[in-house]
Structure 1
């Protein structure tokens, strides 16, 4: 399956502007109608129904405690396709122009449609992330607080259970993820607080990637989307995946991560900016695994006669 065929959604947390202001900023790009739903009151949602009948929501977020409640606005996109990325980027730019801001409490969550996945594909996904996670976490620059509280790494125990039981169906993976067959997953189940949240498969029908620090930089958001779509496509297309965890070597990290991105299919000019943003935080050299070699010092040839600026041989008098 091509990454461009996979559907996704995105949640972007912002501060400093009201939900109404953010809704009208989105409307300036997607058109349609804006309305204040207001229910449930805890989220006080605004909705923008765009010209294609899709609904963009702007809701409150209780976790953004550093600002007053009326200045907390989380953008929840409708289901989008790859061709919608440019419009999403324009909506992000409009939010920034309207004065929307982000702070250290804000994050971005990307949801990948779980419909094409079965248990084997999801096992592949978990193993791909587990293997490359030291590189991924460094590349994304995730804060220690976010990593400990909201985006915990893939656990050794989960991978061991996947390797042992080899799930073929989502029901089989459900038992592995929860430790029992959870027929009625709840929204705030504690297992959701992982960088790759598989709990959401059974609650909302998506694989949720929760790693990302918030940004209103449209290029970075595009890079994050392309990365998640590429990882999903790799898991869907692979017959199997290795779970042997890669170590993090500062000398080769940038090279190693570049190779990983190329293996995901993020090759060529189309993904040039994605590679740029995703590798920006990595130490090392993208082209040389062991660091760029230093040019050898060229020693002067002892048989060569050197002259000064006047064309004379130093120390030689006539």
Structure 2
């Protein structure tokens, strides 16, 4: 499926690694033959590629901004520029972003509302193909479009966002609802889908993608964003009926890719991307467990070392107590032995007295009997 003729533009935040913006622009021009120049920062749509400052990544670096592009030809330009930036030594870090503007000047209020509704439906799927740092509300510059509308489950948040969007009777009101994310006075362009871009130019901005100098990521993300707008225009989004149902990443992404009707290679790319980030999450959790176990062991050893003086005192006291108890046991045993000997001696003495008395009585009886016998004779 080729890219439609809907217009789009890209913004690539890159680290220049000591090179000047003018120098990088010159290298890219030579490599691609595409006109690109250094310019001052501004929000006007350029008529050629430009590289400008961007305070969010440091003024020594740059943001590469395209003119209005469209179709496969525009996608090829984005591919060539990205490849040339990488060849020029440009890199990215976690602060960098990659933003895609998609033409929306032809969309009426109802079509814009459908676009906004479809995005809150798709946010779980969008999150699972992004790094953890650019999911939910983890990044100041890439905030959720649905979390602030309230609700304990994702489906409740979606339905609450839909109700808010349905109340908008003008484009301006809808832009406010989408930008505020359900918070009074909290309108911001730092949403994953930025509707405030419509106030300056006829486009909506997809801000969620992390910075990149990989052309495959750029091309596939542009395809997804353009297809998302195209499909939203002709869609009939509905609220979610199973309010307490949990979102399963694989299912949500599968539904999104089926709905977008992307070419098989793009679908394969995004499924592999989800799997990669899922595996990273597993590895990160395992690493966190290992680190937590190591910290616990270190704390245990530190506590053991810190407790050494008190432990030595306790051990000395325990040894002294054990010695006292052992001495007491010896004393008790000696006393018991002495008592047993006394009792045995008294018993022997009593038996000797008894025997002496017994024999004396026997002798006296015998002598009495003898005397009686002799008396009877005489």
| TM over 0.5, shorter chain | yes
Contact map agreement 2:118 2:237 (CA 8 A) in 1 = no
Q: What's 1:24 paired with?
A: 26
Q: What's 2:193 paired with?
A: 196
Question: Given the superposition, is the C-alpha separation of residues 256 and 19 from structure 1 closer, same or farther in structure 2, using an over 3 Å criterion?
Answer: same
- Report the Cα offset of residue 255 of structure 1: 4.4
Q: What's 1:265 paired with?
A: 261
Q: What's 1:82 paired with?
A: 71
Name stretches of at least 5 consecutive residues in structure 1 with no aligned partner: 180-188, 285-318
Contact map agreement 1:151 1:194 (CA 8 A) in 2 = yes
Structure 2 length-normalised TM: 0.59
Question: Given the superposition, is the C-alpha separation of residues 75 and 142 from structure 1 closer, same or farther in structure 2, using an over 3 Å criterion?
Answer: farther
- Report the Cα offset of residue 9 of structure 1: 0.3
Name stretches of at least 5 consecutive residues in structure 2 with no aligned partner: 150-157, 181-185, 280-378
- Consecutive aligned runs of 4 or more in structure 1 exceeding 6 Å deviation: none
State the structure with more CA Rg: 2
Residue number among 224, 228, 234 corresponding to 1:227 in the alignment:
224
Residue number among 202, 222, 235 corresponding to 1:205 in the alignment:
202
- Report the Cα offset of residue 228 of structure 1: 0.7
- Structure (1/2) with the larger strand percentage: 1
Residue 154 in structure 1 maps to residue 145 in structure 2: yes
Structure 1 length-normalised TM: 0.69
Distance (whole Å) between structure 1 residues aligned to residue 269 and residue 71 of structure 2: 14
1:90-169 equivalence runs, <5 A: 90-143=80-133, 147-155=138-146, 156-157=148-149, 160=160, 162-163=162-163, 165=166, 167=168, 169=170
- Structure (1/2) with the larger helix percentage: 2
Question: Given the superposition, is the C-alpha separation of residues 26 and 44 from structure 1 closer, same or farther in structure 2, using an over 3 Å criterion?
Answer: farther
* Cα offsets for 1:224-247 (capped at 9, x unmatched): 111111111111111444456873
Q: What's 2:11 paired with?
A: 11
Contact map agreement 1:22 1:73 (CA 8 A) in 2 = no
Q: How many residues of Structure 1 are paired with residues of Structure 2 in the alignment? A: 256
Distance (whole Å) between structure 2 residues aligned to residue 75 and residue 6 of structure 1: 21
Distance (whole Å) between structure 2 residues aligned to residue 81 and residue 276 of structure 1: 25
- Report the Cα offset of residue 133 of structure 1: 1.1
Question: Given the superposition, is the C-alpha separation of residues 124 and 22 from structure 1 closer, same or farther in structure 2, using an over 3 Å criterion?
Answer: same
